[in-house]
Structure 1
Amino acid sequence: VFSGKTVLGNRLVVSPQGLNVRIRSIHAQNSESETGYAGQRCALNLTGSGIDRATVSRGDWVIEAGLHQPTACVDAAITVLKSEKRSLMHWTPVHIHIGAKDITGRVAVLEHQRIAPGGNGLVQLVLDEKLGCLHGDRLVLRDQSARRTIAGGVVLDPFASERGRRRPDRLKALRALDCSDPGIALGGLLKCQRDGVNLSHFKVLWNLCDKEAEILWQKSDMICISSADKEIGISLNSWGLLKAQIINDLEAWHQQWPDRPGTEKERLRRSLESPVEEPIFSAAITELIRAGSIIRNGSFLCLPGYRPKFEGKAASLWEQVAKLLANDSLRPPRVREIAAAANIDLKKVEELLTRAAAMGLVYRISDNRYFLCETVQALAAIAERLANEADDGMFTAKFYRDNTSIGRNLAIEVLEFFDKKKFTKRIDDKRTVECSHQVIFGSPPKESHL
């Protein structure tokens, strides 16, 4: 038993074939046993679909399902024997011995084109077939005829990729992995991988159990971020730099586009000098919003106090229109009524409100109605309150009309607008609220719309 322990009835996997098996019996140290521990010489009686002598071969591993990730591309650190008469050249065909497995493949020398006799270096082993291995597994390289030993070494990353294998950041990561202590390795990776370390990958790489991984994460100076398929760690220093960069880029956006409400989250992520994965970026945005360092305005992000503004004659015209929209906050006048009250050409008002909607100053509720963001936020807050107070979490259009006093027709227009924004969902003659209104429509801005 190489690591951990095995118990009667355990359901495991034969790797690299991927055969699901169950342990029927165990002989440990030539005696029947219910458990086999690391370091013991054990014989396992395995049962499972497709398991027989023809499907299992020398060098295969019996492992937990989570470790079954067969690979044909392995990054390693090797030392060429001093007895070699020539340097080990890039793309040399070799026999690779890992554990009891013998597989043919080629050696890609990563830092130079060759490794001199007695020298050491980083290589990538491109195998002719897949095998199972983990960080720290010892390996031996023999020549193409398998008659002469060329080098020995250790596996650094069994889940390597041929693409970008010589990139400077990749070589730094491999140097960080070239040690026997997972804590030191993780610290090195956090320093050189500013966009974060895949902790789920690291856990498998070092064959850590859940408890070992949890203790290591707690000891490390990092932020842990969970996504749908993995856990990511980012150093506290990189985390601070990322948040500062987000604020700086958002400030630059406002200076470049003063008439726009802000920028979309994904556009801001792509604009970063050093892009990071979406889960890390989303976590940073969430923390910045919670701290009040940035504001979510509908689907846009902006700095606190920022407000897009019109210039010149449009600014004067907008001031008149905005006052009329705010005059009766929950029931603003129609577009035609605004034009008549301000004595402005209807077409000019329509063009102004279209621009204001693009700037995020108003929402277009229907063809002839535009509401200020504050008005929409107030109406959405009422809908959320009604849903929260109802036993079934739902409310009718009539009940909403009565609580807003905006009339039946306008209440229906507002609710249909909420449906389109996926804030509410209609079920028969009732509606339910899908999320907090602040997620969809943001928080009221600190500055006036005027």
Structure 2
Amino acid sequence: MIVGTAGHIDHGKTALVKALTGIDADRLKEEKARGITIDLGYAYSDLGDGRQLGFVDVPGHERFVHNMLAGATGIDAALLVVSAAEGVKPQTVEHLQIVDLLGLDRGLVALTKADLADDDQLLERMAEIEALLATTALAGSEIVPVSALTGRGVDELKARLLALGESARGTTGFARLAVDRCFVLAGAGVVVTGTVHAGEIRVDDRLLLTPSGLEARVRSLHAQNRPAEVGRAGERCALNLSGPKLSRESVRRGDWVVSPELHAPTDRLDVRLKLLGSEPQMLKHWSPVHVHLGAAHVMGRVALLQGDRLVPGETALAQLVLQEKVGAVAGDRAVLRDPSATRTMAGALVIDPFGPPRHRRTARRLAELGALSTPDGAFLAKLLALDGGHVDLARLGLAHNLRPAEIERRLEEAGGVRVQGHGFLQATLDAARRDIADTLAAFHRSNADAPGLQPERLRVALGQRWPAPVFRALLEREVAAKTVAIAGGFAHLPGHALTLAPREEALWRKIAAELERERFRPPRVRDFAQAYGEAEPQVRKLLRQMARLGRVVEVAPDQFFLRPVVAEMIAIAHALGPDFTAAQFRDRLDNGRKVAIQILEFFDRHGITLRRGDLRRTVPQKLQQYGPPPSSGSSPP
């Protein structure tokens, strides 16, 4: 278990840690010279029976609260230190507020310098402390009078600390360690220290630094100040890292060392925010704040999601918009300080580490955050039960540090069904199937001569508006079940089909054969009309009907190409390289400058190509807009 000290400057935190462990946690020359703790100090007490207590000694001076916060977020229990000679002081109160905002409910109070007070004074101090703890998560914690000078109460305090139990941090998720120190050892290289918040880290593991994404291999490690092969959640570890771009300057306090699966830097955290009752005024929407999360310290703003002001002592949903990316998962806790960094203002529990930049205040989003706030891991069932409830399972696993097997277990327990990476209730899938079928049926009744709806038009026409990736998964499910068919880029019910009159069918066969023969420079409408003795309006009507069926594409007025040929021409343009000219495209198709220019202008209008002066390049996301290119016949005749 990792125990963190808390309390006012000069109340004896470092002396008490030395009495408990025999180690002086002050390691800096400035600390020795000034007699105060400036940065984090660490010490370990080996009890000889396999058990060990680790201590994080934090600064008590108000100027170094940011250092205190870097160490406090990695502890399992708090040791609040109050001098019997002086009693409760300002930093006693602020440190206790921080401990409370971090959700720490295990701890003890050490009433130090007990040799300087008589029994009546000790009782008075204890009553004062009990009153202070009453409104916090440490209410009712034991108070032990101690003296680092005489040794009074030290053994009793150690026994009470051990009785608090071991670290409750889980080892089931992917590994993540919060870096609070980085240095270089001669002959070893880069070493980082911090507390393992989840999972296990082993020698030779290949990890990533978040947010930088630098690769690192664990050459060796120390867990709880002893050489080890594995460091587990709840232990303080020192990792000797190596990597192609790793250096002392590339690592900073606040970084995370994580399994590659968990690398997902973020700058928008949806949180449940609690404003301290001691705050002098309400917190306004978009207020600037200092945000402390893990060992990181970044600037950010508070975007309130419910109203524009938060009253002291109240709790509300909010989004923290950070100036720098950090590593975070759901369940992490953050502490907010005012813009001048002189006082602690609020605490935040991360609900979703990947908050959306838009639509963050919609009723739907607030309902999702309400479901995600459900304790004991029951949030998945509530998310799925929402109207149109669905869950991106990979994103869920990333946000909550869940391994794939754990995601599947929770989905099964929630009564969910997986469809291409998304989770649904069966009732939701059944409703979606009815919605798709009813929408297509209504369209067919009103548009008997139309082939169907393009998928995007179908998505926006449904009664339930699904995000595009979710809709694609649902539509593919229906296609696989043969309740929906897709032909020529149009979705339709299987029984729906367009038939041509025998005369039109015969004319289309002749036109299609000619379009295939002259696929890169096809005849125009008037050419077909003249060749087959048909009226131009009739030929135009037929070809536009075939365009609605997805058989042909009108690239220019009265200039139709077979749809697979359009896909083939897109592939040819892409093969010309990142920057090509109209002349290169014309020569590749051998179809004349005018037709080549018409084709390229069509590509420009539909975002298939981007033009810069005389050069063009294809847009990778648009290469399949008209389907895959034919597997053969890709060379011009």
- Range class of TM-score, shorter chain: 0.5 to 0.7
In 2, the alpha carbon distance for the partners of 1:204 and 1:294 equals 33
In 1, the alpha carbon distance for the partners of 2:361 and 2:549 equals 51
Q: Do the aligned partners of residues 364 and 348 (structure 1) sit closer, same or farther apart at CA in structure 2, a change above 3 Å counting?
A: farther
1:268 and 2:453 are equivalent in the alignment: no
Q: Do the aligned partners of residues 98 and 354 (structure 1) sit closer, same or farther apart at CA in structure 2, a change above 3 Å counting?
A: same
Specify the alignment match of 2:391 in structure 1: 197
In 1, the alpha carbon distance for the partners of 2:297 and 2:341 equals 10
In 2, the alpha carbon distance for the partners of 1:221 and 1:6 equals 33
User: Which has the bigger relative contact order, CA under 8 A and spacing at least 6?
Assistant: 1
Matches within 5 A, 1:30-109: 30-109=225-304
SS at match of 1:54: helix
Q: Do the aligned partners of residues 97 and 321 (structure 1) sit closer, same or farther apart at CA in structure 2, a change above 3 Å counting?
A: closer
SS at match of 1:49: coil
Comparing 2-11 with 82-91, greater Cα deviation is found at 82-91
In 2, the alpha carbon distance for the partners of 1:145 and 1:421 equals 57
Q: Which runs of 5+ in 2 are unaligned?
A: 1-195, 510-531, 553-625
Q: Do the aligned partners of residues 60 and 123 (structure 1) sit closer, same or farther apart at CA in structure 2, a change above 3 Å counting?
A: same
Matches within 5 A, 1:339-378: 347=534, 351=538, 355=542, 358=545
Letter in 1 for 2:231: G
Q: Report the alpha carbon displacement of residue 426 of structure 1 after superposing the two structures with TM.
A: 3.3
Specify the alignment match of 1:206 in structure 2: 400
Q: Report the alpha carbon displacement of residue 29 of structure 1 after superposing the two structures with TM.
A: 2.1
Specify the alignment match of 2:445 in structure 1: 255
Letter in 2 for 1:30: N
Q: Do the aligned partners of residues 134 and 193 (structure 1) sit closer, same or farther apart at CA in structure 2, a change above 3 Å counting?
A: farther
Aligned partners of 1:261 and 1:359 also within 8 Å: no
The match for 2:219 among 24, 40, 53 is 24
The match for 2:363 among 168, 192, 197 is 168
In 2, the alpha carbon distance for the partners of 1:140 and 1:268 equals 46
Q: Report the alpha carbon displacement of residue 208 of structure 1 after superposing the two structures with TM.
A: 0.8
Q: Report the alpha carbon displacement of residue 77 of structure 1 after superposing the two structures with TM.
A: 0.4
In 1, the alpha carbon distance for the partners of 2:551 and 2:246 equals 65
Specify the alignment match of 1:123 in structure 2: 318
Specify the alignment match of 2:430 in structure 1: 240
Q: Deviations over 1:261-280 (max 9, x none)?
A: 33333332232233324444
Q: Do the aligned partners of residues 308 and 54 (structure 1) sit closer, same or farther apart at CA in structure 2, a change above 3 Å counting?
A: closer
Comparing 115-124 with 253-262, greater Cα deviation is found at 253-262
Specify the alignment match of 2:342 in structure 1: 147
In 2, the alpha carbon distance for the partners of 1:300 and 1:189 equals 32
Q: Do the aligned partners of residues 32 and 85 (structure 1) sit closer, same or farther apart at CA in structure 2, a change above 3 Å counting?
A: same
Q: Report the alpha carbon displacement of residue 3 of structure 1 after superposing the two structures with TM.
A: 0.7
Specify the alignment match of 2:416 in structure 1: 222
Q: Do the aligned partners of residues 49 and 360 (structure 1) sit closer, same or farther apart at CA in structure 2, a change above 3 Å counting?
A: closer
Q: Report the alpha carbon displacement of residue 42 of structure 1 after superposing the two structures with TM.
A: 1.6
Letter in 1 for 2:312: P
Aligned partners of 1:97 and 1:139 also within 8 Å: yes
In 1, the alpha carbon distance for the partners of 2:458 and 2:248 equals 57
Q: Do the aligned partners of residues 247 and 103 (structure 1) sit closer, same or farther apart at CA in structure 2, a change above 3 Å counting?
A: same
Aligned partners of 1:260 and 1:360 also within 8 Å: no
Q: Do the aligned partners of residues 84 and 425 (structure 1) sit closer, same or farther apart at CA in structure 2, a change above 3 Å counting?
A: closer
Count how many residue pairs are aligned between Structure 1 and Structure 2: 345
Q: Report the alpha carbon displacement of residue 142 of structure 1 after superposing the two structures with TM.
A: 1.4
Specify the alignment match of 2:203 in structure 1: 8
Matches within 5 A, 1:350-429: 351=538, 355=542, 358=545, 425-426=631-632
Aligned partners of 2:504 and 2:542 also within 8 Å: no
Comparing 295-304 with 265-274, greater Cα deviation is found at 295-304
Q: Do the aligned partners of residues 259 and 97 (structure 1) sit closer, same or farther apart at CA in structure 2, a change above 3 Å counting?
A: same
Amino-acid identity (%): 36
Letter in 2 for 1:196: H
Aligned partners of 1:141 and 1:152 also within 8 Å: yes
Q: Do the aligned partners of residues 272 and 7 (structure 1) sit closer, same or farther apart at CA in structure 2, a change above 3 Å counting?
A: same
Aligned partners of 2:488 and 2:551 also within 8 Å: no
1:178 and 2:400 are equivalent in the alignment: no
Specify the alignment match of 1:433 in structure 2: none
Letter in 1 for 2:538: E
Aligned partners of 2:490 and 2:550 also within 8 Å: no
Aligned partners of 2:206 and 2:218 also within 8 Å: yes
In 2, the alpha carbon distance for the partners of 1:80 and 1:74 equals 17
Aligned partners of 2:253 and 2:295 also within 8 Å: yes
In 1, the alpha carbon distance for the partners of 2:342 and 2:548 equals 77
Letter in 1 for 2:323: D
SS at match of 2:534: helix
In 1, the alpha carbon distance for the partners of 2:240 and 2:384 equals 43
Aligned partners of 1:58 and 1:101 also within 8 Å: yes
SS at match of 1:259: coil
Letter in 1 for 2:250: T
Aligned partners of 1:195 and 1:276 also within 8 Å: no
Give the structure with higher Rg (CA): 2
Q: Deviations over 1:317-355 (max 9, x none)?
A: x368779999xxxxxxxxxxxxxxxxxx95379938963
Aligned partners of 1:225 and 1:280 also within 8 Å: no
Q: Report the alpha carbon displacement of residue 144 of structure 1 after superposing the two structures with TM.
A: 1.7
Aligned partners of 2:459 and 2:466 also within 8 Å: yes
Q: Do the aligned partners of residues 71 and 349 (structure 1) sit closer, same or farther apart at CA in structure 2, a change above 3 Å counting?
A: closer
In 1, the alpha carbon distance for the partners of 2:453 and 2:288 equals 53
Q: Report the alpha carbon displacement of residue 22 of structure 1 after superposing the two structures with TM.
A: 0.9
In 1, the alpha carbon distance for the partners of 2:246 and 2:549 equals 67
In 1, the alpha carbon distance for the partners of 2:263 and 2:632 equals 46
Q: Do the aligned partners of residues 258 and 171 (structure 1) sit closer, same or farther apart at CA in structure 2, a change above 3 Å counting?
A: same
In 2, the alpha carbon distance for the partners of 1:58 and 1:361 equals 60
Say what the alpha-carbon RMSD is for the aligned residues: 3.4
Aligned partners of 1:195 and 1:277 also within 8 Å: no
Q: Report the alpha carbon displacement of residue 214 of structure 1 after superposing the two structures with TM.
A: 2.5
In 2, the alpha carbon distance for the partners of 1:359 and 1:18 equals 51
Q: Report the alpha carbon displacement of residue 362 of structure 1 after superposing the two structures with TM.
A: 9.8
Specify the alignment match of 1:432 in structure 2: none
The match for 2:475 among 280, 285, 290 is 285
Aligned partners of 1:11 and 1:21 also within 8 Å: yes
Aligned partners of 2:271 and 2:318 also within 8 Å: yes
Q: Report the alpha carbon displacement of residue 91 of structure 1 after superposing the two structures with TM.
A: 1.8
In 2, the alpha carbon distance for the partners of 1:80 and 1:56 equals 32
Q: Do the aligned partners of residues 209 and 421 (structure 1) sit closer, same or farther apart at CA in structure 2, a change above 3 Å counting?
A: closer
Letter in 2 for 1:107: V
In 2, the alpha carbon distance for the partners of 1:203 and 1:170 equals 19
Q: Do the aligned partners of residues 98 and 279 (structure 1) sit closer, same or farther apart at CA in structure 2, a change above 3 Å counting?
A: closer
TM-score normalized by the length of structure 1: 0.67
Letter in 1 for 2:241: L
Q: Report the alpha carbon displacement of residue 21 of structure 1 after superposing the two structures with TM.
A: 0.9
